[in-house]
Chain A
Amino acid sequence: MTATTIDQPRTVRRTQIKPIPLSRVVRVELRKMFNTRSGFWLIASIAITGLIATIATIAFAPDKDLTYYTFAKAVGFPITVILPMVALLSITNEWSQRSGLTTFTYVPSRRRVILAKTVASVAVAIASMMFSFAVGAVGNVVGSTIAGTSTVWDLSVGHAATIVLGNLVSLSIGTMLGMLLRSSAGGLVMYFVLVLLVPSLSALLAASQDWFKHLQPWVDLPLARTFLFDGMHTGAQWAHIATTVALWIVLPGIFGLRVVMRTEVK
C-alpha cells in the first residue's frame, strides 16, 4: 500500500473562515432526512399512502361524499401520522445512531442544530401538505367525473390553514419527544402512546367522570388537535389548543432542549 500524501498545503488562513450560515445547516439536515434507506422510505411512504388513500376514496366512498374535503382529509391523514416520526427520528438518530458525535463537532451549537432540524421538518411538512392538497384536487376531479356527480370544492382557505396548523402541531410532538427522550425506539413508543393510547383513556375518563368532562378539552392535546382538522368554530377552541400545546409541547420541549444542550454526547 502506498502512502498518499495530502497534496493541498494548508494555505487557507484562519481569518478567511466564515461562520456556517443557518441555511447551510438546514440544507444538510434536510439531506440527512433522505439519504438513508429508512429515512427515504419513511418520507416516500407519505406520498405512497396519499395516493393509495385517493384511489381508495374514489373506489369506496359514497358518491355524495366525493367532495374535496373528503379527499384532502384522506390524503392528509398519513401526513399527520408520519410527519411527527420524521421530526422525531431526525433528532433521535443523532443519539441512537451516534452520529451526533460528528454532527455536534461540525456545528458545536446544539441549539442551532435542533433549530435547523425543526426548520427542515417544517419544510418537509409544507411540501407534503402541498402534495396532499394537489393529489386531493386531482382525486376530487377524477372521482366526481367517474361517479358522474358535480365537483364540489368544500374546503375554505381558512379551514385549509387550520389543517396546516394541525399538522404542524403534530410535527412538534415529534420534535418535543425527540429532544426529551433522544432515543428512536423510546421516542416512537411514547409517540404512539401519546396519540393512540392517551386519547382513548381520556375519552373513557370523560365518559365516566363528570369533573373530567369539562377539563378534557383543556388537557387533551389529540382532542384539541381534532378541532384544527375539523375546522374551528369557537374562540374557546383556540384557548383549548393554546393551553394543551403549552402543556404538552412547549413546556416539555423547553425542558428537552435544556437537556439536549447540557447532556454529554457519547
Chain B
Amino acid sequence: MITIDSLSKTYGTTTVVHDVSFTARTGRVTGFLGPNGAGKSTSMRMMVGLTTPTSGTATISGRRFADLPNPGREVGVMLDASAQHAGRTGREILTIAQQIMGVPARRVAELLEVVSLTGGEADRRVGNYSLGMRQRLGIAAALIGDPQALILDEPANGLDPAGIRWMRALLRDYADHGGTVLLSSHLLAEIEIIADDIVMIGQGRIVCQGAKAELLQAAGTVVRSADVGALQRALAAAGVATTVSGDGSIRTEADPALVGRAAYDGGIVLTELRSADSGGLEEMFLELTADTQRERTAA
C-alpha cells in the first residue's frame, strides 16, 4: 500500500504539487492521470526521495522510502525508461539491479523472459533500444527484486497497442497476486484500459479520485432515438436534464435505468442506451482539467 499524505512541492513562488493525498491500495492498479506538467512526475519523485517535498509525506507499507533497508526488494520503481547509461547493455542494467538488491543471478534471465526481451536484444546497448524496449527493460528492473509495490511513471509510453495489452495483463496479474501498482499517464485511454482506481490531477491539485467503475457511472448516460425531440420531451417530463451532442445522441447525468424508464413511459423507441463510459470519462478529464490545460481549445 502506498499512502500519500498532503504532499506539496514549491519552487520559489511556484507551487508544482499542492496538498496531494491519496492511497494506492493493495491488489489494485491505481492510475495517476493528468495532463503534461500537472505534477505527476514531481509527485512520484517525491515518493521515492529523489525530490524533497516542501511538506507532506509519502509512505510505502507505513515506512518512508528512504527508511527501507533494501528499497528494490519492496518497491519497484521506473520513473524514466530512457534514464539509463546508453553504453550499457540491457542485460548489464538488469545485472546491476540484481546485484545491488542481492537477489539470485537467475532473476536476470527470468525477468527478460517476463518482459519478452530476447537474448539478442538483451545484449544490445540501451542506446540502440526503441522506447518500447526501454519500457520493457525498465519494467523488468522494477520487478527483479520481487517487490510488493510498483511505482511506474508513464510505463505505457512508446508501447504499441499489443504492448499496452501485454502490460495490462502483466500488471493485472501482479495486482491479483497481492501487489500494489501506481502508474501515471497523460493518456486517458491507457489509464482506462489498465487501472482499477483513478486519481486525476491538474495543476498540482487532485481534481477527482475514486474507483474507475464509480467514476464511469458518475459520467451518466448516452441515449439515442430516431425522434430526438420526442425523447427530449419524454426525459424532461421525467425531470431529467439533457444535452444533445453533435452526433444526435442525448447525454444526461441520470443513470441508464431511469432514462430507459422515462423513454418507456413516453412510448419512445430507443436505438441506443448505454453508460457514457469512455466518452464520459474523457469529457470529465477534459472538463476537470480545462482550466489547467495549456491548450484552451482542447476542451
Contact = CB atoms under 8 A, between A and B. Distances in A.
20 contacts: A1-B163, A1-B165, A5-B173, A6-B174, A10-B179, A18-B70, A20-B101, A27-B99, A35-B89, A39-B87, A97-B85, A97-B86, A99-B84, A102-B97, A105-B79, A107-B100, A108-B66, A108-B68, A264-B45, A265-B50
A264 B51 contact: yes
A150 interface: no
Interface string A239-266: 0000000000000000000000010111
**Lowest 3 CB-CB distances: which A-B pairs, in order?**
A3-B169, A36-B87, A98-B83
A235 interface: no
A102 B99 contact: no
B216 to A, nearest CB: 24
A101 B86 CA distance: 14
Q: How large is the interface on B (under 10, 10 to 19, 20 to 34, 35 or more residues)?
A: 35 or more
A105 B50 contact: yes
Contacts of A18: 69-70, 102
Interface of A: 1, 3-6, 8-10, 12, 14, 17-20, 24-25, 27-28, 31-32, 35-39, 93, 97-102, 104-109, 262, 264-266
A10 B148 contact: yes
B84 A265 contact: no
Nearest to B89: A35
Contact of B45 (A8, A38, A266): A266
Among A14, A32, A97, A101, which residue has the most Cβ atoms of chain B within 10 A?
A101
Contacts of A8: 110, 146
A25 to B, nearest CB: 7
- Chain A interface, DSSP helix/strand/loop, else mixed: loop
A8 B125 CA distance: 28
B280 interface: no
A102 B84 contact: yes
B207 interface: no
Interface in B80-137: 80, 82-89, 92, 95-97, 99-102, 110, 113-116, 125
B285 interface: no
B155 interface: no
B10 interface: no
A17 B70 contact: yes
B48 interface: yes
Contacts of B147: 10
A35 B88 contact: yes
A185 to B, nearest CB: 15
Contacts of A6: 114, 143, 170, 173-174, 177
B50 A106 contact: no
Contact of A4 (B51, B83, B95, B116): B116
